[in-house]
Amino acid sequence: MATIDNGFPLETGPAPRTASAGLSLLAGVAAVAIVILLVVAHDQVATWGVERATDPVSLSLLAAGAVFLILGGVIVLTRLGLGGAIALIGVLFWLAGCIVFKSFGWVLAVPVALGLLGSLTGLVANDRRVSETDSTLIYRQAGLTRLTHWVWAVAMFFLLLSGLQIFNARPNLYVGQQSGFAFENSIMDIYATNGPSGPAGQTKLFGQIYNTTGVLGMSGSAAQPVFTAFPGWATIPSYRDLGTGRVVHFFFAWILVGALAIWLIQALASGHFWRDIVLKPRDIRGLPGDIIDHIRLRFTHGRSYTPLQKVAYFGVFVIAFPLIILTGLTMSPGMDAAWPWLLELFGGRQTARTIHFVTMVAFVLFFVVHIIMVVLANPINELRSMITGYYRTNVHAAPDSKTEGH
């Protein structure tokens, strides 16, 4: 048995390895065949209940899913856990492609089912192997950390989609105190326009115009185009309804604020904030090495977070969450009357709205990296720690940590 320095053993028994590789490769080959059929023989695929995928975004997501599934299937042969994780990323890409494509014909489910079986076979067998070599689980995440994490994860989902609905009512971003036709202070505009070959969606960013037909400004099929900034699949409700969007947004905004307040009290009281979130000089010194370890996919699983994790979570708790909440409050006329300093702090309501939007984009980027990291770092171990609190380490546990035989 070789080393397990990133939680994924190098050598594992042949049975699960072969099964995982076989299933993931089968899923990958099926995915490639479907993508080719979607492009060259669409009429055939249509008989299986799949609509025509013409937009480049869904086709790229499906193609990326196929590549990761094949890659995962090959890597599983030498690194069972890592290969399983990469195949799981393939499944997630494929699912994202189906959601953007808005098609769930049965044939599209084939790579998902095979890919899930293949990746989970690898991940579960890997987890069992690791527990044979390292029998110590440490208690890493307190109950309130776990509870508040899942509450804000759900809240952020509803906030993002209802926020895009609200944005669609005025799909422009301005800098300054004012907005309107008389002002030239917009930095981003999403709109539909009539081009030489018919209507098109465009996005103007800092004066530069991009064609975003199919995603921004104009979406839907050619026969039934929809002229909203963000497409229906990215908003709550999926149709234009500002009133409901605002009700959903404000409801989940208070859920988020409540969950964060509870998190902050317990994180300060238990020492979680100081130990795991605040960067110390030692963390700054360890940052370059940790970045290299992450690039090489060699993760340290310890009692506390690694320097790079601390940077990410510090940014989320100390910069992004406060910024998105305060700029949200600045957009409320009632809050402006109560706390006029908010308007001064953010340079007016329009600038606050732009900062709110940019922070949302940062959260989406954080979310994508966060999920990829959880999957690559061994999702069973990571998710167990965020559900049950118990985490398997590959470094010596701190003497004060609560341990449990396994």
Q: Least Å distance between CB 45 and ligand HEM? A: 31
Q: Is 365 in the site for ligand HEM (CB under 6 A)?
A: no
| Cα–Cα distance list, 334 to 115, 174, 251, 261, 352 (Å) | 51, 21, 17, 22, 15
Q: What is the C-alpha to C-alpha distance for residues 183 and 133, in angstroms, rounded to an integer? A: 66
- Residue among 361, 364, 362, 358 nearest 327 (CA): 358
Segment contacting ligand HEM by CB under 6 A, of 52-60, 150-158, 248-256, 281-289: 150-158
Q: With respect to ligand HEM, which residue has the nearer C-beta, 6 or 309?
A: 309
Q: Is 398 in the site for ligand HEM (CB under 6 A)?
A: no
Percent composition of the chain: helix, strand, coil (DSSP 3-state, to 5): 65, 10, 30
- Binding to ligand HEM, residues 306-325 (CB under 6 A): 309, 313, 316
Q: Is 96 in the site for ligand HEM (CB under 6 A)?
A: no
Burial 227-265 (b: 16+ CB within 10 A, else e): ebbbbbebbbeeeebeeebeebbeebbebbbebbeebee
Among 153, 261, 269, 372, binds ligand HEM (CB under 6 A): 153
Cβ atoms of 20 and 121 within 8 Å: the answer is: yes
Q: Least Å distance between CB 383 and ligand HEM? A: 5
Q: With respect to ligand HEM, which residue has the nearer C-beta, 26 or 89?
A: 89
Among 158, 250, 367, 397, binds ligand HEM (CB under 6 A): 367
- Binding to ligand HEM, residues 189-218 (CB under 6 A): none
Segment contacting ligand HEM by CB under 6 A, of 41-49, 128-136, 178-186, 365-373: 365-373
CA dihedral 179, 183, 188, 193 (to 10 degrees): 110
Q: Is 371 in the site for ligand HEM (CB under 6 A)?
A: yes
Q: What is the C-alpha to C-alpha distance for residues 287 and 281, in angstroms, rounded to an integer? A: 10
Q: With respect to ligand HEM, which residue has the nearer C-beta, 19 or 374?
A: 374
Q: Is 20 in the site for ligand HEM (CB under 6 A)?
A: no
Q: With respect to ligand HEM, which residue has the nearer C-beta, 276 or 293?
A: 276
| AA identity, residue 338 | A
Interaction site with ligand HEM (CB under 6 A): 145, 149, 152-153, 156, 276, 305, 309, 313, 316, 367, 370-371, 374, 382-383, 385-386
